[in-house]
Structure 1
Amino acid sequence: MTNSGAVINWLLDSDPSIRWQVMRDLLDAPESEWAAERAKVETEGWGARLLSFQDDDGQWAGGAFLPRNFDSREWHQLGQPWTATSFSLSQLREFGLDPSSERAKRTVELIGANSRWDEGGQPYWEGEVEECINGRTVADGAYFGIDVSSIVDRLVGERLKDGGWNCERINGSVRSSFASTINVLEGLLEHERATGGTPASKEARKSGQEYLLERHLFRRLGTGEPADERFLRFVHPNRWRYDILRALDYFRFCAILTGADADPRLGEAIDHLRSRRLENGTWPLDWSPTGRAWFEVDNGQGKPSRWVTLRAMRVLRWWESWHRTV
């Protein structure tokens, strides 16, 4: 598996959630073909399996952010649990569950009627108080056709002076974080894709992007040192976690949606991405968040990852295509 054709065949020999994205993003297949493959997410593979764990009331594990009857000792001993509604819904978005399907429509309707946030009992689609959670809620809601404009307005107003966001703002933080910022940016961009956005949300998105770009996606602004070495290691599923590949894939999607040029300040992260390609043409999974999950979608840390490889290949394809046109 040393050439791109062999790697693409390896990706296609996988789950519908990966296959349809390979067809769209790497093979330029007609929409009729990749849409037919995408429809299988609901009935086959990981998407169908995750849907099979859904509660009758539309939730997962009986809770919005945490499973019902969650004991905080589990978090300390095993890690944050990922089985409740918020993270399950985000994973279905990553899989590409068709938002126009009856199952998707029924799911978000039931969640709106029955799910309440653990923090304050707020209705699910009204959002919580933390920026990371609300950023993902906006992304999920906009993707699945929910009006999340009130959460968007809140996030716009919670932007910090340096241009980004930090979920510790409520506890006094005045500096943005990479993780909080990417969670909010993904939400704002998905909302913009679905609705066109507002002048305020677009301006906030651009300032958040500038926060990351000024730091070349991983460096401290003051010293130039890596803000966190884990940002250079590839993580999947990301959940709320940040790495440079997540940021690069965001900027790829943003450029496709808005027609923006590829910013040269992405170049250092691109070079690192290229350097991590294995001899067989794939990329490895460096780590995954610990904690309770419904099931695994990668083959283990240190091994080639279809998810990481898919994202890396489409980022490089976009970057190299842009450079050929300038």
Structure 2
Amino acid sequence: MNDPVIEWLLASDPAIRWQVLRDLLDAPEPIWKAERAKVETEGWGARLLSHQDADGQWAGGAFIPAGFDPHEWSERGQPWTATCFSLSQLREFGLDPSSSRARETVELIGGNSRWDEGGQPYWQGEVEECINGRTVADGAYFGVDVSAIVERLISEVQADGGWNCERANGSLRSSFASTINVLEGLLEFERATGGTPQSRAARRAGEDYLLKRHLFRRLSTGEPADKRFLCLCHPSRWHYDILRALDYFRAAGLLSGAAPDPRLSEAIDHLRSKRLENGTWPLDWRPAGRVWFDLDDGVDAPSRWVTLKAMRVLKWWNSPANAAP
């Protein structure tokens, strides 16, 4: 509690504080759960819930806001205010899935929201792997039966072990972004239900896809697949970076009890190199586009979200129980 970075994190929103208490301070469960309960009524969580439509959606749409002008996408960036991104944000905030507001939201969305692409009921999933991965993560977290979407994702694994939203257009190679979105969904499904032999095997294959590439390198040349993968981003939305991947492997390791894979070490070293002199980590970039409100102080400034994730990743990596190399 004398660590100024921890104090800085705690002097924040309930969405940050409860995760600091659980993941960094190992507070007893009743303590962090009491803090998590505030997400519904205080701060960012309450603010996001205040923008919810009467029918349970956000911005009148599943993926795209109602009345959206496509020119906005090219001029300002992809909008992030519709239902799917708002639900994922609430999951990151930690809205208690057993709360009455969460249960009501799940029911209303199931009854009223339809995907823009083909009019499918929301909890039946869309067609793109990225979207369906996040839908599985949100659904599993909030107690929805998403097993049918999981089965679809399992059937869409590429030969190299990952996923790609361009598969339907003929792509035979996986992408980092599609793969991390699906992996997070499968992990949340496994956490909620135990998973199936098929879903666990698919998740291991997807992990191996990323690990073979040390989370950011091309398998063919060894060069970074995208320099932005090494830049720390928040909110991630559908985008990929090494911190998102490392936080996934941390969560997966905590669920399975497995020690960290040595192939994570290069990404870990890069994460350490990004730490500022005051012990925090900066926000390198955030996706452009319409949002309900900002969650950080701006690009290049210290970020509580990035710092929280980086600190819990390194705590996991350095844990003597993991015997990380």
**Cα separation, 2, equivalents of 1:273 and 1:243:** 11
1:267 aligns to what? 265
Structure 1: stretches of 5+ with no match in the other structure: none
From the superposition, tell whether residues 324 and 103 of structure 1 become closer, same or farther in structure 2 (CA, over 3 Å). Answer: closer
Conserved 8 A contact 1:4-1:281: no
Conserved 8 A contact 2:39-2:94: yes
Conserved 8 A contact 1:50-1:88: yes
Which one of 243, 249, 253 corresponds to residue 255 of structure 1?
A: 253
Which one of 34, 46, 58 corresponds to residue 60 of structure 1?
A: 58
Which one of 186, 189, 192 corresponds to residue 190 of structure 2?
A: 192
Which one of 217, 220, 226 corresponds to residue 219 of structure 1?
A: 217
From the superposition, tell whether residues 74 and 28 of structure 1 become closer, same or farther in structure 2 (CA, over 3 Å). Answer: same
Q: How does 1:91-110 map to 2 (within 5 A)?
A: 91-110=89-108
TM-score normalised by L of structure 2 = 0.98
The code of the aligned residue for 1:186 comes to E
Offset at residue 325 of structure 1 (A): 3.9
The code of the aligned residue for 1:75 comes to W
Conserved 8 A contact 1:218-1:227: yes
Offset at residue 272 of structure 1 (A): 0.2
Q: How does 1:113-124 map to 2 (within 5 A)?
A: 113-124=111-122
> What SS class does the counterpart of residue 186 from structure 2 fall into?
helix
**Cα separation, 2, equivalents of 1:215 and 1:39:** 39
1:201 aligns to what? 199
The code of the aligned residue for 2:145 comes to D
1:284 aligns to what? 282
TM-score normalised by L of structure 1 = 0.98
The answer to whether 1:165 aligns with 2:163 is yes
2:11 aligns to what? 13
Offset at residue 177 of structure 1 (A): 0.2
**Cα separation, 1, equivalents of 2:75 and 2:322:** 50
**Cα separation, 2, equivalents of 1:167 and 1:325:** 36
Conserved 8 A contact 1:262-1:322: no
1:299 aligns to what? 297
The code of the aligned residue for 1:177 comes to S
Please provide the CA RMSD for this pair: 1.1
1:240 aligns to what? 238
Offset at residue 259 of structure 1 (A): 1.2
Please give the per-residue CA displacement for 1:114-158, whole angstroms capped at 9, x wherever unaligned. Answer: 000000000000000000000000000000000000000000000
2:226 aligns to what? 228
The code of the aligned residue for 1:168 comes to E
